[in-house]
Amino acid sequence: MSKNEFGTSGADLELRGVSKRFPGFTAIEELDLTIPAGSFFALLGPSGCGKTTTLRIVAGLEEPTTGRVLIGGKDVTDAKPFQRPVNTVFQSYALFPHMTVIENIAFGLRRRRIEDPLGKAREALRLVELENVAQRRPAQLSGGQQQRVALARAIVNRPALLLLDEPLGALDLKLRRQMQLELKEIQAQVGLTFLHVTHDQEEAMTMADTVAVMNKGRIEQMGAPEELYERPRTAFVANFLGQSNLFGGKVVSSSDESIVVDVHGYRVEVPRARSQRHSGEVAVGVRPEKIELHANEPVPASGINIVGPGRVTDVSFSGVSTSYQVSLPGLGVVTVFAQNRSFGPVVHEGEQVWLSWHVEHGFGLEDEPEQLPKFAADDDTQSIAAQRRRQLQTELEGA
């Protein structure tokens, strides 16, 4: 297949002050977003964060309460879905069950009266490597095949913008990883602008050039996957994209390069450039895989944060790496990931350890420290029972 066949490049997508209110709740609050042409953009967030609503507004299936939608500089806010140069790969694929695969793919071409719809549909089917199922009905295909047909049905129209609504959600893990790579390859091949909505952070990071993390109808942070992971600006991003150890404390000294935070008596240094706040009470964090475990107290050195001693409370082995939970007085529980470069865990449950990490690996957040999520999850049955007991006791004492 010649690349020129699908050679039209994508168009910019611009959302200006878009909001969407449904009776009783706000799905999107004031969203401003520009997606450059030809990029692979991911909207990442938990369910109910407004990402699917955003996608539906772009597709024209939902009307924004306020704001404008621009595609390639043209205002399409009032255009009907069939008048927009946009195609969607639906979460449920939404293949027409009463049509053959080839007719499904040719549907959009036929509606636009493009010549040789079947020939072009066949080309698209070749792109997703499914020429042999052209005459079958969607119900006769596997989930992965249906997913590819849905993709072919959308890209055959060469839309300026392709919307993907959790298109890999229904596939099993192995197939999902394979499709992620294929989807990325196809995007590079056809050069269209892809807007991908997902709740799978790993999927967003592997596929997208730019990721926007959405929470409660707002974009929390936007950037390249590495940047989001290494320099999260909010506690939500720090915890939604991978795991983080977060500490709250007061800034005790600061220089041009770094700030020093007193965390329950431990001295934690964070580069100034990687911190959102530079004075007062601040929240800082470090990724679990950046922390090193030491059986003996390490020699203090500049450029390294050391905390400890603490006690290993849990060791869980997961093949490539081992996850350790270390309880430190005052700090709470800190998670450490260590690669299994030798056999099995290097320290065991109940042992005393010190933790260290390079100053440049730390980051400082925008959030108020008291709003940080608790380090230890307090939603397990034991702590719920403890809370209930405390509540009951206070009630009894009051009576």
Partner 1 sequence: MRGFGRYALAVYSVIALTFIMIPIVYTIVFSFNDARRTNIIWRGFTFDNWLQVCRAQDVCIAFGNSIIVALVATLLATVLGTMIAIALVRYRFRFRAATTLLLFLPMATPEVVLGAGLAAQFLAAGVQKGLVTIIIAHTMFCISFVVVTVRARVASLDPALEEAGRDLYGSPRQVFWRITFPLLLPGIIAAAMLSFALSFDDFIITNFNAGSTMTFPKYIYTAAARGIPAEANVIASAVFFLAIVIVIVVQVTNAARRKRLALR
Query: What tokens were used for 90?
Result: 């639906």
Contact assessment for residue 251 and residue 87, using Cβ atoms and an 8 Å cutoff: no
Whichever of 55 and 235 has its CB closer to partner 1, that residue is 55
**CB of residue 171 vs partner 1: minimum separation in angstroms?**
17
Beta strand spans in the chain (E): 13-22, 25-35, 40-44, 66-71, 74-75, 86-89, 161-165, 193-198, 210-215, 218-223, 245-254, 258-263, 266-271, 281-286, 292-294, 304-317, 321-328, 332-339, 352-358, 363-364
Query: What tokens were used for 31?
Result: 């969203």
Whichever of 90 and 337 has its CB closer to partner 1, that residue is 90
**CB of residue 225 vs partner 1: minimum separation in angstroms?**
28
**CB of residue 116 vs partner 1: minimum separation in angstroms?**
16
**CB of residue 81 vs partner 1: minimum separation in angstroms?**
4
Question: d(Cα 373, Cα 91) in Å, to the nearest integer?
Answer: 31
Picking from 325, 353, 320, the residue whose alpha carbon sits closest to that of residue 339 is 320
**CB of residue 62 vs partner 1: minimum separation in angstroms?**
10
Task: To the nearest 10°, report the CA torsion of 340, 345, 347, 349.
Answer: 140
- CB count within 10 Å of CB 334 equals 22
Whichever of 94 and 175 has its CB closer to partner 1, that residue is 94
Contact assessment for residue 169 and residue 91, using Cβ atoms and an 8 Å cutoff: yes
Whichever of 95 and 241 has its CB closer to partner 1, that residue is 95
**CB of residue 54 vs partner 1: minimum separation in angstroms?**
16
- CB count within 10 Å of CB 384 equals 11
Whichever of 148 and 361 has its CB closer to partner 1, that residue is 148
Whichever of 23 and 319 has its CB closer to partner 1, that residue is 23
**CB of residue 101 vs partner 1: minimum separation in angstroms?**
12
**CB of residue 135 vs partner 1: minimum separation in angstroms?**
9
Angstrom CA distances, 184 to 54, 205, 220, 257, stand at 22, 12, 25, 39
Whichever of 140 and 371 has its CB closer to partner 1, that residue is 140
Question: d(Cα 184, Cα 399) in Å, to the nearest integer?
Answer: 65
Whichever of 24 and 280 has its CB closer to partner 1, that residue is 24
Contact assessment for residue 156 and residue 188, using Cβ atoms and an 8 Å cutoff: no
Q: Give the sheet arrangement for strand 304-317, strand by strand.
A: 292-294, 352-358, 304-317, 321-328, 332-339
**CB of residue 193 vs partner 1: minimum separation in angstroms?**
16
Whichever of 18 and 95 has its CB closer to partner 1, that residue is 95
Whichever of 131 and 378 has its CB closer to partner 1, that residue is 131
Q: Phi, psi at residue 201, to the nearest 5°?
A: -65, -35
Please report, as ranges, the residues that interact with partner 1 according to CB under 8 A: 59-61, 80-82, 86-88, 90-92, 94-98, 107-108, 111-112, 136-137, 139-140, 153, 157
Contacts of 79 (CB under 8 A, 6+ apart): 60
**CB of residue 63 vs partner 1: minimum separation in angstroms?**
13
Contact assessment for residue 234 and residue 367, using Cβ atoms and an 8 Å cutoff: yes
Tokens 């040789």 found at: 116
